[in-house]
Amino acid sequence: MMRTRPLKVALLGCGVVGSEVARIMTTHADDLTARIGAPVELAGVAVRRPDKVREGIAPELVTTDATALVKRGDIDVVIEVIGGIEPARGLITTAFEHGASVVSANKALLAQDGAALHAVAERHDKDLYYEAAVAGAIPLIRPLRESLAGDKINRVMGIVNGTTNFILDAMDSTGAGYQEALDEATALGYAEADPTADVEGFDAAAKAAILAGISFHTRVRLDDVYREGMTEVTAADFASAKEMGCTIKLLAICERAEDGASVTARVHPAMIPLSHPLASVRGAYNAVFVESDAAGQLMFYGPGAGGSPTASAVLGDLVAVCRNRLSGATGPGESAYAALPVSPMGDVVTRYHISLDVADKPGVLAQVATVFAEHGVSIDTVRQSGKDGEASLVVVTHRASDAALTGTVEALRKLDTVRGVASIMRVEGE
């Protein structure tokens, strides 16, 4: 039987995503009612600038007092799309305390304080859903914590930031340098005026923490994620990648150790073979590659940001949370029973591509090879070219730990015949 009393929704934030959420709630009201089993009513919208005209939102719904809105007591669901740590954290906590479930798109807050927020939600028997926090419209959080709940996930590797993928794709396809590609991304609206959070990997690191926590049933915070930006990637790196049949992507990688006793989470640029599915992800799109025991290899692909795609994920969570309210149940909360330790980056094992500037004279290759051998790093291939007394030496290793590679590079820098280390890049996806 259809319930006639509406479920009341408070919206915190009415920017690009929030305005789309409000629009879809209005234009798809009948469909949402049919899918949920009760009408949903936008009961209030908290904003910072109340005088701004917001098409489709009645002025009487707009307020600058977000705290009073979530404390009303008649609110069933709070949608938080304001971002940042505070006041979002306090508002979400207050919402739980006053009887509302929460849908959030706040990756930074969830990566930092997800465990604490889940604890408050559980204490008050309320839902905390956040599909929109990772990869925009791509269904990812729910498949990981529900569809694959009976499986063992071993690795999650993906492109989770559209800005960086657009920039790297432009560098790959046009031969442009980093700054030129960034300028294009900014002009087209793919990059913010201050792109630091994207290009230095902070955004992707927050998403990696969330993905690792869900995938491995372990609490992984932002501080646990190794982060390396992509601002040092050059056109020469792409040329080297192409010679190896690879391209370069900024990847978020979460993986379980081979012995299953620990996990790692990291974000950094990496070369990946053109044969890998992630290599073909172009423009500002996102994609996440999941490897598990039973399901094998899965890939989730689609638009990872923007008002409409992110609002789609928010509305999907809204429907699920509202259904739970009607049935008197709650959905899955935090699953951290495994409590695996998060290993430091030094323990991570992968392949490496190292480009060295060396003197062009006999014996240099032998010296370099000796340093690699002394640090237990096995060489896969070597390519040398040069003239007029200067040369370039490109070494690709077999799998080695980050700690071993770091020691190798430090020793190489001390050789008189090594003029400098031009670049170091990990090779993934093989």
- The catalytic residues are 207
| E strand segments, 25-121 | 40-46, 62-63, 77-80, 101-104
Residues 6+ positions from 347 with CB-CB distance below 8 Å: 257, 262, 264, 401, 402, 403
Amino acid found at 363: G
* 112 membership: H or E segment, kind and range: helix 107-123
Whether the CB-CB separation of 382 and 338 falls below 8 Å is answered with: no
Whether the CB-CB separation of 145 and 284 falls below 8 Å is answered with: no
Q: Rounded to an integer, what distance in angstroms lies between the CA atom of residue 115 and that of residue 110?
A: 8
Q: Rounded to an integer, what distance in angstroms lies between the CA atom of residue 198 and that of residue 164?
A: 6
Whether the CB-CB separation of 203 and 107 falls below 8 Å is answered with: yes
Whether the CB-CB separation of 15 and 81 falls below 8 Å is answered with: yes
Whether the CB-CB separation of 272 and 429 falls below 8 Å is answered with: yes
Whether the CB-CB separation of 218 and 255 falls below 8 Å is answered with: no
Q: Rounded to an integer, what distance in angstroms lies between the CA atom of residue 92 and that of residue 12?
A: 10
Q: Rounded to an integer, what distance in angstroms lies between the CA atom of residue 341 and that of residue 223?
A: 13
